[in-house]
């Protein structure tokens, strides 16, 4: 991916944004908020708290984790490593 000069960034973002479907746009906004929160707080703890405090997101994570554990070749999560 080519480097974008700071003064060209807003234009580049708008160009990319125009080609994204709505669900991807939401992901971009969520990621931007995550990055902003890290900058403001100096750490990512608040962002993770927001993610893990959301029942819907945690349910999605649980489904993902369960699916990984049932796939052939997947390794169980060792809680001592978390």
The two three-digit tokens of residue 7, written as one number:
């003064």
- The residue among 65, 62, 60 whose CA lies nearest residue 76 is 65
Q: Which residue has the higher pLDDT, 62 or 45?
A: 62
Confirm whether 26 is domain-assigned: yes
- 47 assigned to some structural domain: yes
Q: Is residue 80 part of a domain?
A: no
The parent domain of residue 37 ranges over 6-72
Asked if residue 12 is part of any domain, the answer here is: yes
**Looking at the 3D structure of the chain, how many domains does it have?**
1
How far does CA 49 lie from the centroid of its chain? 13
Nearest 5°: the CA angle 52, 53, 54 is 90
Q: What is the pLDDT of residues 42-59, one digit of tens each?
A: 666 666 777 778 888 788
**82 belongs to a structural domain:** no
Whole-number pLDDT of residue 43: 63
């Amino acid at each position: 991916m080519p480097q974008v000069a700071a003064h060209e960034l807003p234009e580049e973002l708008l160009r990319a944004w125009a080609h994204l479907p709505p669900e991807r746009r939401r992901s971009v906004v969520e990621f931007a908020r995550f990055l902003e929160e890290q900058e403001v707080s100096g750490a990512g703890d608040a962002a993770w708290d927001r993610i893990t405090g959301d029942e819907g997101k945690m349910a999605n994570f649980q489904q993902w984790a369960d699916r990984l554990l049932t796939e052939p070749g997947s390794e169980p999560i060792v809680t001592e490593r978390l």
